[in-house]
């Protein structure tokens, strides 16, 4: 090569490098996944029994949302010794590995720190971490509590919990939740008051990414509804953001896997091409209605994009772990993915 050509070659190389989509992880595509809330060893044992059936359907990923339902050692006050234990988590991990199912543990970060009147352990034991400390007694008038993304004492504690779950499930990926965060940048928080909500949300994501991807070398998954501008996607305030957090979409790493949830039957799901266009891998997630699940799965497949990963079936209490392989929307989408 002549020196005169070198700049053009380098330019071409840079262009082609940028034009190539990020390679999917070394796990098979398409990804057919299931998301399940889990709170006991008994449920994990049911999943152990279901694993061969799920694998036979084509399921190759299982998100187990553990949250605080674990026998945590680093911070025992945040867990429950009678909930999920290490030996059973290890058993599920081993059986799933043999069945080529990737197990991805989940701990909801930032938001979803309460449900109805019940505040979850982190903010019960550490009310000083609350984004709205002392406000909304019995959680009246709010959806869910949030922790403060700028309180310097929260992340070290949460990272200990993440580490325990990653180790217990021998996981190479972690789901951080992050959906439906309505309390952020609150006037009741002395640190966050007046700050940009998109920048606060991005800071939280970048902090978690630095720990999970940077330090632990695992992949990071999230629900992306707070990254979507509802005015653009036309979604409700649940499926997309009307509280300014969407600015964060341009302030975070592109290697985060976006579990883009939509549970209604529609002709189009604008967030799927939007997230793909931003350079993210997208794992569309449906729920309980087979027709809506198929509408989302077919729309996603039509995108013909290497970063469209497959389908994630959420369950949200509609099926027990013991009957997971019989969940109708999962069967429908598994059938859809058997079609070429
Ligand atoms: Zn705050």
Give the Å distance between the CA of 174 and the centre of ligand 1: 24
CA distance 159 to 250: 24
pLDDT digits 0-9 by tens, 221-232: 999 999 999 999
Helices (H), the chain: 6-19, 41-57, 86-98, 121-125, 154-168, 197-209, 230-233, 271-277, 290-301, 328-338
Structural contact between residues 329 and 288, judged by C-beta atoms closer than 8 angstroms: yes
CA distance 85 to 69: 9
Name the residue with higher pLDDT: 10 or 294. Answer: 294
> Residue 36: left if φ>0, alpha if ψ -120 to 50, beta else—which one?
beta
Give the Å distance between the CA of 191 and the centre of ligand 1: 5
Specify the pLDDT at position 26. 43
Answer whether residue 12 shows pLDDT above 70.
no
Vertex 162 angle, CA 91 and 116, to 5°:
100
pLDDT digits 0-9 by tens, 27-79: 456 899 999 999 999 999 999 999 999 999 999 999 999 999 999 999 999 99
Give the Å distance between the CA of 246 and the centre of ligand 1: 18
Specify the pLDDT at position 24. 40
Give the Å distance between the CA of 217 and the centre of ligand 1: 28
What domains does the chain contain, in order, with CATH numbers? 26-338 (3.20.20.80)
Give the Å distance between the CA of 128 and the centre of ligand 1: 10
pLDDT digits 0-9 by tens, 277-312: 999 999 999 999 999 999 999 999 999 899 999 999
Specify the pLDDT at position 250. 98
Specify the pLDDT at position 304. 86
Specify the pLDDT at position 81. 85
pLDDT digits 0-9 by tens, 131-170: 999 999 999 999 999 999 999 999 999 999 999 999 999 9
Give the Å distance between the CA of 150 and the centre of ligand 1: 5
Question: What are the contacts of 132-137 at 24+ separation with CB within 8 A?
Answer: 132/183, 132/186, 132/188, 132/189, 133/188, 133/189, 134/188, 135/188
Q: What percent of the chain has pLDDT over 70?
A: 91
Structure-token match 């695992």, residue found = 218
Vertex 263 angle, CA 259 and 264, to 5°:
140
Lowest-confidence pick of 7-16, 21-30, 76-85, 226-235: 7-16
């Amino acid at each position: 090569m002549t020196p005169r050509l070198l700049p053009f070659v380098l330019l071409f190389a840079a262009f082609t490098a940028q034009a190539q989509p990020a390679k999917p992880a070394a796990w098979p595509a398409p990804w057919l996944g299931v998301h399940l809330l889990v709170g006991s060893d008994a449920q994990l044992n049911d999943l152990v029994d279901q694993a061969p059936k799920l694998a036979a359907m084509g399921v190759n990923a299982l998100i187990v949302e553990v949250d605080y339902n674990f026998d945590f050692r680093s911070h025992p006050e945040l867990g429950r010794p009678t909930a999920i234990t290490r030996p059973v988590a290890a058993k599920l991990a081993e059986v799933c590995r043999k069945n080529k199912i990737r197990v991805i543990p989940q701990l909801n970060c930032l938001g979803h720190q309460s449900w109805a009147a019940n505040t979850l352990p982190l903010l019960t034991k550490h009310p000083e971490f609350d984004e709205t400390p002392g406000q909304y007694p019995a959680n009246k008038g709010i959806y869910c509590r949030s922790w403060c993304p700028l309180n310097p004492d929260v992340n070290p504690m949460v990272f200990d919990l993440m580490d325990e779950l990653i180790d217990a499930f021998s996981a190479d990926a972690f789901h951080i939740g992050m959906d439906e965060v309505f309390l952020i940048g609150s006037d009741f928080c002395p640190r966050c008051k007046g700050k940009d909500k998109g920048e606060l949300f991005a800071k939280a994501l970048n902090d978690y990414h630095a720990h999970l991807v940077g330090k632990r070398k695992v992949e990071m998954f999230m629900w992306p509804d707070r990254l979507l501008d509802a005015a653009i996607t036309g979604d409700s305030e649940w499926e997309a953001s009307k509280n300014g957090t969407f600015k964060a979409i341009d302030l975070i790493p592109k290697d985060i896997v976006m579990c883009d949830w939509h549970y209604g039957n529609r002709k189009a799901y604008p967030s799927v091409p939007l997230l793909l266009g931003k350079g993210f891998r997208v794992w569309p997630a449906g729920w309980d209605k087979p027709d809506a699940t198929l509408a989302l799965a077919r729309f996603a497949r039509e995108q013909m994009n290497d970063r469209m990963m497959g389908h994630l079936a959420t369950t949200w209490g509609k099926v027990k772990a013991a009957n997971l392989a019989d969940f109708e929307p999962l069967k429908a989408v598994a059938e859809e993915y058997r079609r070429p």
